[in-house]
Structure 1
Amino acid sequence: MTNKNADIELGLGLIGIGRTWGYKSSSIPEEQNSLDFLMKAFEMGINFFDTAPAYGLSEVRLGKFLKSLDTKQRNSVVVATKFGEFFDETTSSTYVDHSYKALCSSIDQSLERLGRIDILQLHKTNVEVLQSEALLDAVKYAKQKGINIIGASVSDVESGCIVCKNNTFSVIQIPYNMNFTSLEEILDLAKENNKFVISNRPFHMGEIMYKNNLDNSSDTIEEAFKFIIKKNFRGVILTGTKSPQHLQENLRGFQKAFED
């Protein structure tokens, strides 16, 4: 959902439909409920979906939803996924593998699930892997598979600096919100280097909402979005809800954040 007053859109992070996550973890929805939720989001105007192999059932469920769209609808949607972190179903935990073999295998699996990948991001980024031959070779493999937009999901300043200054990456994903500003300099550097920014965790994994008076939740949502959009970057803010009602509230708050 793009706001006409800024080059920022509201997107949907899909960890919540695949595994437990957040400030107050809750069970994942049934598959049909997830598919219904994705369709309602699409009907609300959400057309940016961010998933990952490490998000449990998320990629599989998103893929089933995408297959329900006609060609025109699918072409209106941006699907971003990741490689480098994986989900172990037997232990319900994640693990990291940045080897060339694992990265290529992840690409193949994600393509099988999703059909097409619009943005591919390195997951659990660190300085060592960013400078590795394995990653460069895996990026070449991704491009051979028709994936032309490469990014990285960053959680430390040093990695963020490398990504922002490296032409291999045109997208950077970072957490940024009123309770977490440690990567603000990376957000500024990304703007300077014309990177497309994916800003995640606008509510600090839900903590901002739960620690505020829920009677004023609409004001809290608006203020949380307003804090982020003041940075005036080119990109998307991801909300991680799995509830149609909460998504509608988030969309309303996102739109109101541009009114002042």
Structure 2
Amino acid sequence: MSSTSTHRVRGVELGLGLIGIGRPWPTPEAAVIPAEQARALLDRAIELGIRFFDTAAAYGRSEEVLGEYLGDLPAARREELVIATKCGEAWPAPEGAQPDHSLGALEKSFERSRRLLGRVDLLQLHKCTVDDLRDEQLLAWFEGLRTAGEVGAVGVSVSSEAALRAALDVAVFDTVQFPANSANAGFTTAFAEAERSHLPLLNRPMASGALAGTGNPFAFHTAAFRRAVVLTGTTRISHLEANAAAFASALEATTDQDL
């Protein structure tokens, strides 16, 4: 892997997904939290040792709110963080509309993200498909951004095992984001079988809430991966603190077993 921004991840770390600070989530009826509450959430995340933050152009005002927060951070603190965003999908979008992965749309999305965030450490293709991974112009565009130093790293976010397997056969990308939890281990198995060096970014660690109250969901991730970012999504500080404590407990238990 060539990127210095993702080289900072040396073990299994907890990251924070930021859809909830920019658009209604987890249901369309949910209220978007105020910017002051979002800033308090980000402050607490950093205090808890979280250094990886994942947003997207499709997350409503998330990039804008995060960018304003980052702009107020001391330069040294900003350098400690990895800011990941995604291009290729817009919100709101007409019902049934497909993500636009044309180069023109991707370029426009990236420029907006960079303007709002100030700097992009990791740019991912949102809802990447097998067909996207056969598009030589698309692959060259991502590789060109990294080579020119316009982004620190490039990756994809997938929602099918077929796309994950295809992405792992493409050397262009530094990271792959996919669902990983004990309720659906297929993606994790596919990643392990490929034996590639891509950094895995693991979303839906609690299977969209299905694993709540069923023990420590993070034990699955700390046992199955030696290097990864587990993305927890929440807008409540109390929930973030509980997740951080559970993650630390799982990581400690796994470390003890390895001794």
Q: If the TM-score is normalised by the length of the shorter chain, which range does it land in?
A: 0.7 to 0.9
Cα deviations by residue, 1:138-182 (Å, 9 ceiling, x for unpaired):
314523352141111111122111211211011011101122223
Alignment map for 1:136-215 (pairs within 5 Å): 136-143=139-146, 144=148, 146-189=150-193, 192-209=195-212, 212=213
Could you tell me the percent identity over the aligned residues? Answer: 36
Structure 2 partner of 1:128? 131
1:93–1:16: structure 2 CA closer, same or farther, 3 Å change rule?
A: farther
DSSP-derived class of the 1:11 partner: strand
1:120–1:94: structure 2 CA closer, same or farther, 3 Å change rule?
A: farther
Q: Distance in 2 between matches of 1:133 and 1:100?
A: 11
Alignment map for 1:1-260 (pairs within 5 Å): 7-22=11-26, 26-88=30-92, 95-143=98-146, 144=148, 146-189=150-193, 192-209=195-212, 212=213, 220=214, 223-260=216-253
1:228–1:25: structure 2 CA closer, same or farther, 3 Å change rule?
A: farther
Q: Distance in 1 between matches of 2:37 and 2:15?
A: 19
1:53–1:67: structure 2 CA closer, same or farther, 3 Å change rule?
A: same
Q: CA deviation at 1:118?
A: 0.8
1:116–1:94: structure 2 CA closer, same or farther, 3 Å change rule?
A: farther
DSSP-derived class of the 1:9 partner: strand
Q: Distance in 1 between matches of 2:144 and 2:97?
A: 24
DSSP-derived class of the 2:13 partner: strand
Give yes or no for contact 1:122–1:152 (8 Å, CA) kept in 2.
yes
1:193–1:140: structure 2 CA closer, same or farther, 3 Å change rule?
A: closer
Output the TM-score relative to the length of structure 2. Answer: 0.87
Give yes or no for contact 1:7–1:233 (8 Å, CA) kept in 2.
yes
Following superposition, which runs of at least 4 residues in structure 1 exceed 4 angstroms of deviation? 91-95
What letter corresponds to residue 115 of structure 1 in structure 2? G
Give the aligned CA root-mean-square deviation in angstroms. Answer: 2.2
Output the TM-score relative to the length of structure 1. Answer: 0.86
Which structure 1 residue ranges, 5 or more long, are not aligned? 1-5, 213-219
1:183–1:140: structure 2 CA closer, same or farther, 3 Å change rule?
A: closer
Q: Distance in 1 between matches of 2:110 and 2:206?
A: 30
Give yes or no for contact 2:18–2:54 (8 Å, CA) kept in 1.
yes
DSSP-derived class of the 2:224 partner: coil
Report the count of equivalent residues.
243
Q: CA deviation at 1:115?
A: 0.7
DSSP-derived class of the 1:168 partner: coil
Q: Distance in 2 between matches of 1:57 and 1:233?
A: 33
Q: Distance in 1 between matches of 2:29 and 2:184?
A: 20
Q: CA deviation at 1:195?
A: 1.2
